[in-house]
Amino acid sequence: MLKISKKTFFYASVISIFILLIGSALIIFNKDPFWCFSYKYSKYRLNIDEREQKLNLIHYARKNIDCLILGSSRVTYINSFDLTGRNAFNFAVSDMNLAEIYDFVEIVKFKTKCNLKYIIIGMDFYSMNKSRKSDFTSIQYYTNKICNPFYKIKTLISFDSLIYSIKSLLYSFEMFQDRRLDYYSTDFIKQMFIPTKNEKMSYMVSDIKQYESKIYGDNFAYNYDLKETFKKMRKTNSTAKIIIFTTPESDQLFKLMVKKNLMKYYKMWIRDIVDVFGYLYNFMDINSITINSENFKDLNHFYPNVGKLIIHRVMKVEDSDIPDDFGYLVNKENIEYYFNRIDLSLKNQ
């Protein structure tokens, strides 16, 4: 029987572990699950943690940006390449709150040293509910994590990174794909899965329950910090054109908002934004897009083709597909007329 000395066993073990580590690191480096190596070998980039992933992209790769897009998960589906002639970056993340918007703009300016020409912000009315709890960690946590000098090394030897890399690798094969998961493409554009009729109906029922009991519930507390936050943003970005738009949601949610007696806060929200910036594009009303459920994945996430109409509308890109009633330009001169028009349309429903 062949005897192996302790010394030989030790060296063999060390070499084996080293090979495994190198192999794992190469897989992680190639699939780049946290977007800190910027390699474009991944056709399918898993949506792991958008805050960390997009901060990595800004920190390590994307430096030449002149147009920044911000917002919640609704805005993540807007394709930055729909803005031809602009170096646009979509920094929208799931459940982005009001305080984060200002912080994200400052982080992008600090990391890229760019002079932003456009800052486009999609605002959701539901995010104005200050009593609504967010499950996401503060942006300061992510910046501290990413700025750690050993961050990339930790990523290369992380077991979680390896698991995500293997999942990304397997996702390239149709038999391993989960069609219910959104993912990012090679060019970091978010791809939305299209639900079946039954799945969509289930999502719609779930949305109604959640909005009725929680988001538009009796504990709704308007976030009065909005004006001060935006005043600070306007002051610190005086050379950039800041464009605010409200995100569309199905007319069913709009009517629920009215039913829950939140119309006064809806009007206050629009007034606050117009008071600071002079105008906004309002897509959150009853219009030819919001009355058609075919434009939504559920009741509050519009499909990417609608996102294209939105970004073209606010950036004044000619597009014959944009309905005339989609994206009303509200300003200080017409705001009362606009509110009266909404009130009248609701009475006629």
What residue spans of the chain are helical by DSSP H? 6-31, 50-60, 73-76, 98-112, 139-146, 151-156, 159-170, 197-210, 226-236, 251-259, 263-277, 304-314, 335-347
| Residue 12 placed within a domain | no
Q: What is the mean pLDDT of residues 244-253?
A: 96
| Residue 30 placed within a domain | no
CA 254 – CA 286 distance, rounded (Å): 7
pLDDT, mean over the chain? 89
Confidence of residue 62 (pLDDT cuts 50, 70, 90): confident
CA 303 – CA 84 distance, rounded (Å): 20
| Residue 324 placed within a domain | yes
What range defines the domain where residue 86 resides?
A: 36-347
| Residue 19 placed within a domain | no
**Model confidence at 247: pLDDT above 60:** yes
Which one of 31-45, 174-188, 325-339 scores highest in mean pLDDT? 325-339
Number of domains making up the chain:
1
Report the share of the chain in percent with pLDDT over 90. Answer: 55
Confidence of residue 168 (pLDDT cuts 50, 70, 90): confident
Q: What is the mean pLDDT of residues 80-95?
A: 90
Higher-scoring residue by pLDDT: 43, 98: 98
Confidence of residue 39 (pLDDT cuts 50, 70, 90): low
Pair of tokens at residue 67:
């147009």
**Model confidence at 292: pLDDT above 80:** yes
| Residue 11 placed within a domain | no
| Residue 249 placed within a domain | yes
Contacts of 27 (CB under 8 A, 6+ apart): 162, 165, 166, 169
**pLDDT score, position 46:** 84
Residues in the chain: 349
**pLDDT score, position 266:** 97
**pLDDT score, position 41:** 62
Higher-scoring residue by pLDDT: 250, 14: 250
pLDDT tens across 130-160, in order?
887 777 777 888 888 988 989 999 999 999 9
Buried b (16+ CB within 10 A) or exposed e, 138-154: ebeebbeebeeeebeee
The end-to-end CA distance of the chain, in Å, is 89
Pair of tokens at residue 349:
């429903």
CA 125 – CA 249 distance, rounded (Å): 10
Which one of 101-115, 136-150, 160-174, 300-314 scores highest in mean pLDDT? 300-314
**pLDDT score, position 137:** 73
pLDDT tens across 256-291, in order?
999 999 999 999 999 999 999 999 999 999 999 999
| Residue 108 placed within a domain | yes
**pLDDT score, position 40:** 62
Give me the half-sphere count of Cα atoms (radius 13 Å) on the Cβ side of residue 254: 21
pLDDT tens across 176-206, in order?
777 777 888 878 889 888 899 999 999 999 9
CA 31, distance to chain mean position in Å, is: 22
| Residue 184 placed within a domain | yes
For residues 256 and 212, is the Cβ–Cβ distance under 8 A?
A: yes
**pLDDT score, position 47:** 85
